[in-house]
Amino acid sequence: MGEAGGVPLRVVSYNIHSQRDDTAALAAVVRAARPDVVIVQEGPRRFRWRQKSATLAESFGLVVAAGGLPALGNLLLTSLRVQVVGTRCQRFPLTPGRHLRGAAYADCRVAGARFTLAGSHLSTDPAERQAQAAELKRGLDAATGPVLVGADLNEGPDGPAWATVARGLTDAAVAADAADRLTYSCADPRRRIDALFVDPRITVVDYDVVDTPQTRRASDHFPVLVDLLLPTTG
């Protein structure tokens, strides 16, 4: 059931470093958060990616909604509370000699609310990153429901790619007065390059960058944990 003002949704956005670190700690971190959705960057994208994605989702207590290889490692996972009604993947134009990048989208419903979940991971190259941000923004603008997008932007809030993606959306960290919380790296936190942006109709209730001994073992990025209230659609 919805609460006064909207339907609650708990979101984790997490670059899991291709599961190169402590995978038991990774699973424990996500399970402890009890999310409704997890937006994964650097998820399985190569050989046996479907099986690996399903195994990852199961370790979190979730199911695969969208992404994986078609979205170049961007993976959307949901609890059974969330109904997924449509999915799509986006690949950004390839710059020769660089890594392929893309985005995953899932149109979802939960307890009388609808929303479009999206996830992406932009390039480390500034020029390429800006072009990818424009492509991602076009994908977000095509969404049919209120958008919430989690991304590793590989730049901070003062960068042009960040500004492109954020345009017209709410930065959850700013809304929660927590923009000073750094997300990268776990070994030496100096930058906020991982973000969750939401449609202005979505209320940001709480925001956290989870910094614990477990998260420092689980990945090279800290997870972003956000509680939202979604507008009901009747």
Instruction: For 61-97, write each residue's pLDDT tens digit.
Output: 999 999 999 899 999 999 999 999 999 999 998 776 5
Q: Quick check: 87 and 78 in contact, CB under 8 A? A: no
CA 54 centroid distance within chain: 17
Q: Is the pLDDT of residue 4 over 60?
A: no
Residue 127: its pLDDT value, please?
A: 86
Residue 234: pLDDT band by 50, 70, 90 thresholds?
Answer: low
The DSSP line for 48-69 is THHHHHHHHHHHHT-EEEEEEG
Q: Quick check: 201 and 146 in contact, CB under 8 A? A: yes
Residue 226: its pLDDT value, please?
A: 98
Euclidean distance between the first and final Cα of the chain, in Å? 13
Residue 97: its pLDDT value, please?
A: 58
Interval 178-200 mean pLDDT: 97
Token reading at 14: 């997490």
Amino acid at 82: V
Residue 144: its pLDDT value, please?
A: 85
What's the pTM? 0.95
Whole-number Å distance between alpha carbons of 189 and 204: 24
Sheet holding 37-41, edge to edge: 63-68, 74-78, 37-41, 7-15, 224-230, 203-209
Q: Where are the domains of the chain?
A: 7-230
Interval 35-55 mean pLDDT: 95
Amino acid at 207: Y
* Angle (CA) 183 72 154, round 5°: 30
Looking at the domain covering 7-230, what would its CATH class be?
A: alpha beta
CA 2 centroid distance within chain: 23
Q: Running DSSP on this structure, what letter comes out for residue 123?
A: -
Whole-number Å distance between alpha carbons of 152 and 192: 9
Q: Running DSSP on this structure, what letter comes out for residue 79?
A: -
Q: Return the percentage of the chain with pLDDT > 90, whole number.
A: 89
